[in-house]
Amino acid sequence: MRHRFRHADRITRSFRMLSYRFSMSVLLILSCALLLFGRAEAYVFDDARTKTMEFVTPLLDWMSTPVTLFRDWLGNFDDYFDVYEKNRLLRAENTRLKAWKTRALQLEQVTARYKDLLDVQLEPDITYISGRVVSDSGGPFVHTLIINTGRKQGVNEGQAVVDSQGFIGRVVGTGAHAARILLISDLNSRVPVMIEPSQARAVMTGDNTSRPKLEFVSDNAALKTGDRVVTSGAGGMLPPALPIGLAVKMDDGNFRVQPFSDQARVSYVRVLQYEFPKEIAPSTDEAPAAAPNPAVTPLTTTPPPPAPPVSPAPVQTRNPIPPAPPSSAAPSAPPARPQISTGVPVEIRPLAEPDDTGGDEDG
């Protein structure tokens, strides 16, 4: 009898072993298959990712509240220790800043006058939506954040995200009340930047380290450690002139960016609501009608504001703006071009003169 039991026990055990081995191999193969498939067709799982993010964000929101509070408190705690030193530094800085303030006010006046004189189309106001960071990716391979505001609050994919110190990344996925932010340190992050004061252009490339690389620098010789790196706005994806960090020369002669913000300690972020110049279908038949400037057509990546159709020609296929009164639409057209600093090529100026009432500059 006992012998039979033992026999049965052995059978069960070997059966269990077999089923364990079987499920292990099936699942391991499945994981590899998922990896391969996800590598080839990444978008397939986007929906599942968004759903999961939407599902867990309330949980993470709830769980991260004490964490955020604790971290803020810890930050304050740090401050207690160097309160005197910091106070002294702040006083000194304040004195310096007061001088700068006077200067800034003067310059503001001057700029305002020049703007009036030049009839510059002002850049649109940037508004923002605040969100709290409820999750970071936690892993060494992916650098994303999840915030607790989403589509319902007006967060959309592609929008720039800043914290109190500067640009940290952009929105890559949105749920109803959650959004995923791709940080500038992520391997997949590419940001067109400009380095001040040399105004060299570069692409800031993340490589999963805390300091993204500067690649394709237009003028490497002009760079030096300590130069400010800002978004250039090239490509029409991000608003120009958002501060990112300082350029740092590495031992190998290449430059990296030391970001202003410590992205491991970001608690609150702002998603910038920036109205971009709407894209005009780069059709050639529009060019002679709107602006007789051939230099404009290749610049589809930084498109000028929608030139209202002089004739009701059916060219604006991709422009959702209603073709309102053609002549007077220009001043009220909301999407102005980002006319900050030197980021915008000068060639687009003729196109950006849509009001046919003026035209004294073009002749």
Partner 1 sequence: MDRSIARALGAFYQVSIPFVVALFCVLLTMLPLGLSPGIVIAPTFGLMAVFYWGLYRPDLMPPMIVFLVGLFQDLISGGPLGLWALVYLAVYGVVVSQRLFFIGKAFLAIWFGFGVTILIGGMIAWVVSSLYFGALLSPVSVLVQALLSFILYPVAARIFAFVQQQLLVQA
What is the contact surface with partner 1 in residues (CB under 8 A)? Answer: 20, 23-24, 27-28, 30-35, 38-39, 45, 48-49, 52-53, 56, 59-60, 63-64, 67-68, 71, 133-146, 172-173, 180, 183, 185, 187, 207-210, 262-267
Q: Considering the complex, state which of residue 121 and residue 185 has its C-beta at the smaller distance from partner 1.
A: 185
Q: Considering the complex, state which of residue 200 and residue 269 has its C-beta at the smaller distance from partner 1.
A: 269
In the complex, minimum distance from the CB of residue 216 to partner 1, in angstroms, rounded to a whole number: 17
Q: Considering the complex, state which of residue 138 and residue 320 has its C-beta at the smaller distance from partner 1.
A: 138
In the complex, minimum distance from the CB of residue 179 to partner 1, in angstroms, rounded to a whole number: 11
In the complex, minimum distance from the CB of residue 76 to partner 1, in angstroms, rounded to a whole number: 14
Tokens found for residue 186 = 């992520």
Q: Considering the complex, state which of residue 75 and residue 334 has its C-beta at the smaller distance from partner 1.
A: 75
Q: Considering the complex, state which of residue 143 and residue 337 has its C-beta at the smaller distance from partner 1.
A: 143
In the complex, minimum distance from the CB of residue 65 to partner 1, in angstroms, rounded to a whole number: 10
Q: Considering the complex, state which of residue 140 and residue 363 has its C-beta at the smaller distance from partner 1.
A: 140
- The sign of the torsion formed by the CA atoms of 250, 254, 260, 266 equals negative
Taking residue 294's Cβ as centre, other Cβ atoms within 10 Å add up to: 11
In the complex, minimum distance from the CB of residue 178 to partner 1, in angstroms, rounded to a whole number: 11
In the complex, minimum distance from the CB of residue 202 to partner 1, in angstroms, rounded to a whole number: 19
